[in-house]
Amino acid sequence: MMELKTLRLNRHEERRLQGGHLWIYSNEINGKETPLKQFQRGEQVRVEAHSGKFLGIAYVNPHSLICGRLFSREPHILDHALLLHRLEQALSLRSRLFDQPFYRLVYGESDLLPGLVVDRFGKHLSIQLNTAGMEVLKSEIIDALKTLLNPESILLRNDSSMRPLEGLPQEVVTAHGTPPQEVELLENGVRMLAPLHNGQKTGWFYDQRPNRAVLQRFVQGKRVLDVFSYIGGFGVQAAAFGAKEVMAVDSSRFALEMAEKNAALNGVENIFSGAEGDAFDVLKALKQEGEQFDVIVVDPPAFIKRKKDHKEGLRAYHRINELAMRLLSDDGLLLSASCSMHLQRDELLDVLRNGGRRLDRHVQVLFEGTQGPDHPIHPAIPETCYLKAFLARVCKE
C-alpha cells in the first residue's frame, strides 16, 4: 500500500464516487498537486478527496477521458488475491442464477472489475480487457481464472472499440490452451454454437437470454422473422420452441451460415432459412412479395453509438420497426430491442407507438425486458443498463 502514489481530486469532485460511481474524469483531478502525467498507463493509485480523505484505490490511464476507475473502497491493491476474490464473488452469483456453465461471468464495473468482461462457455473463456488498467493485469487475470475454473482455453477478444480510446491495440490473442473455432453453449434449453474467433464481440450475446425465453410462449405453430439475427439467438430458439417456420435476416453471410448450422444442431433446419442483405432492403422486398409473419424480432446493432448520432440513429429505429410492423399478420407480435445506451427506454416505446399510429394498428406491450442477470446493473452507473426490449401485440382495432 505504502508505495502507491496519490491522485487528488478537485474540491467537491468526490461526490460522484461517494454516491457509488467508480469513474474519475480527467477534469476532476487536482493537476497541480497530482499531475496526471506522473502516472503510468494502468498504474494503481490512492484516490483522495480535496480534503485528503481516502476514497479508495483506482487504476489510471492519463491519456483517457475517464482517467481513473475505482475498484476498491478499502486500501487493497488489485493483485492476485483481490482478483480471485472478485472472480469468486462473480462466480457465486452466476452459480445461483444458472444450472449450466454458460453465462457472462464478469460484467466489468458491475462486478467491481472495471473494464473486464469474461464470457464462459463451459471449459472455454472468451474475455475482453477493455482498459489499460486491465491490460497491465493480463497475466494476473489469466492466472486467477485458471486458479478458479481450470479452463481448457482462454481467448482474448481484445478487438473491442473501447481499446483504441485507451491507447491499446485491437487484437485477438490466445492466452491459454487452444480455443476452438466454435464452442457449444446451452441457453433456454437450446444448443447453440458460437464462433469464438470471428464472431461479434466475445462470440455470443448472453444478454438477450431472458428476452429470447419470452418467445417460448408465443411461437408455437407461428411464422417467425428474426431481423438482425446474427447466429440465430432468437430465430433458432424460436424454431426449437415450436415455430412453424423461421426466416433469419442478416447482412453477414458468415452469421447466417452459423445460424443454419445452429438450426441443424437442433434438428430444425427444414423450417429455417436465411436471407442475406441489408435488413432495411430485405424487409421492403419481403413486403413487396406479399410475405407476412406472425412474430417478428428486431434486434439491431447499436444504431446510436455516440450521443451525436442520436437523431439519425433514432430515425433508423423508427424506420426498421415500422418496416417490421408492416410485415406482421393482423394479430402479430413484435419483439423490438435496442442495445444503444444512448436510446432511452421511453424512446423505444415511442417508436412502437409511432409505428402503430402510422399503420393504424393498436399496440399493446405485453412484456418489457432488459439484459439478463449475468449482466447486473450497477445502480450508480447508467451505462451498465443498456438493453431494452419490448414484446408488443400489434393488431387491428
Cβ proximity to ligand SAH, 131 vs 262, nearer residue: 262
Stretch that binds ligand SAH, among 153-161, 244-252, 265-273, 286-294 (CB under 6 A): 244-252
Q: What is the largest CA-CA distance in the chain?
A: 72
User: Exposed, middle or buried, 76 (CB in 10 Å: 0-12/13-18/19+)?
Assistant: middle
Cβ proximity to ligand SAH, 114 vs 233, nearer residue: 233
Stretch that binds ligand SAH, among 112-120, 249-257, 350-358, 371-379 (CB under 6 A): 249-257
Asked if 313 interacts with ligand SAH (CB under 6 A), we say no
Asked if 159 interacts with ligand SAH (CB under 6 A), we say no
Stretch that binds ligand SAH, among 138-146, 214-222, 251-259, 353-361 (CB under 6 A): 251-259
Q: Using CA atoms, how far apart are residues 182 and 249, in angstroms rounded to an integer?
A: 21
Evaluate the CA torsion angle 355, 357, 359, 365 in order and state its sign: positive
Which residues are registered as beta bridge partners of 104?
119
Q: Using CA atoms, how far apart are residues 161 and 201, in angstroms rounded to an integer?
A: 10
User: Exposed, middle or buried, 129 (CB in 10 Å: 0-12/13-18/19+)?
Assistant: buried
Nearest to 322 by CA among 292, 366, 290, 353: 353
Cβ proximity to ligand SAH, 110 vs 237, nearer residue: 237
Respond yes or no: is residue 67 known to be catalytic: no
Looking at 255, 335, 387, 394, which residue binds ligand SAH (CB under 6 A)? 255
Angle CA(273)–CA(211)–CA(260) in degrees, nearest 5?
20
Q: Using CA atoms, how far apart are residues 251 and 2, in angstroms rounded to an integer?
A: 54
Asked if 303 interacts with ligand SAH (CB under 6 A), we say no
Number of residues that bind ligand SAH (CB under 6 A): 16
Q: Using CA atoms, how far apart are residues 170 and 158, in angstroms rounded to an integer?
A: 6
Least gap, CB of 8 to ligand SAH (angstroms): 43
Least gap, CB of 276 to ligand SAH (angstroms): 8
Asked if 251 interacts with ligand SAH (CB under 6 A), we say yes
Contact 299, 212 (CB under 8 A): no
Looking at 109, 111, 166, 250, which residue binds ligand SAH (CB under 6 A)? 250
Looking at 23, 234, 241, 272, which residue binds ligand SAH (CB under 6 A)? 234
Q: How many CB atoms lie within 10 A of CB 184?
A: 15
Least gap, CB of 210 to ligand SAH (angstroms): 12
Stretch that binds ligand SAH, among 24-32, 90-98, 135-143, 229-237 (CB under 6 A): 229-237
Asked if 200 interacts with ligand SAH (CB under 6 A), we say yes
Looking at 39, 59, 230, 293, which residue binds ligand SAH (CB under 6 A)? 230
Asked if 299 interacts with ligand SAH (CB under 6 A), we say yes
Looking at 42, 56, 115, 233, which residue binds ligand SAH (CB under 6 A)? 233
Contact 235, 246 (CB under 8 A): yes
Q: Using CA atoms, how far apart are residues 251 and 138, in angstroms rounded to an integer?
A: 34
Asked if 279 interacts with ligand SAH (CB under 6 A), we say yes
Nearest to 60 by CA among 2, 7, 116, 106: 7
Nearest to 318 by CA among 369, 263, 280, 265: 280
Q: Using CA atoms, how far apart are residues 171 and 157, in angstroms rounded to an integer?
A: 7
Q: How distant is the alpha carbon of residue 65 from its chain centre?
A: 22
Nearest to 117 by CA among 216, 205, 23: 205
Looking at 171, 278, 312, 330, which residue binds ligand SAH (CB under 6 A)? 278
Of 67, 339, 385, 395, the active-site residue reads: 339
Cβ proximity to ligand SAH, 161 vs 178, nearer residue: 161
Least gap, CB of 99 to ligand SAH (angstroms): 21
The 3-state DSSP class for residue 359 equals helix
Least gap, CB of 170 to ligand SAH (angstroms): 18
Looking at 44, 202, 208, 262, which residue binds ligand SAH (CB under 6 A)? 208
Cβ proximity to ligand SAH, 165 vs 302, nearer residue: 302
Contact 172, 157 (CB under 8 A): yes
Asked if 237 interacts with ligand SAH (CB under 6 A), we say no
Query: Which residues form the interface with ligand SAH (CB under 6 A)?
Result: 200, 205, 208, 228-230, 233-234, 250-252, 255, 278-279, 299, 301
Q: Which residues are catalytic?
A: 339
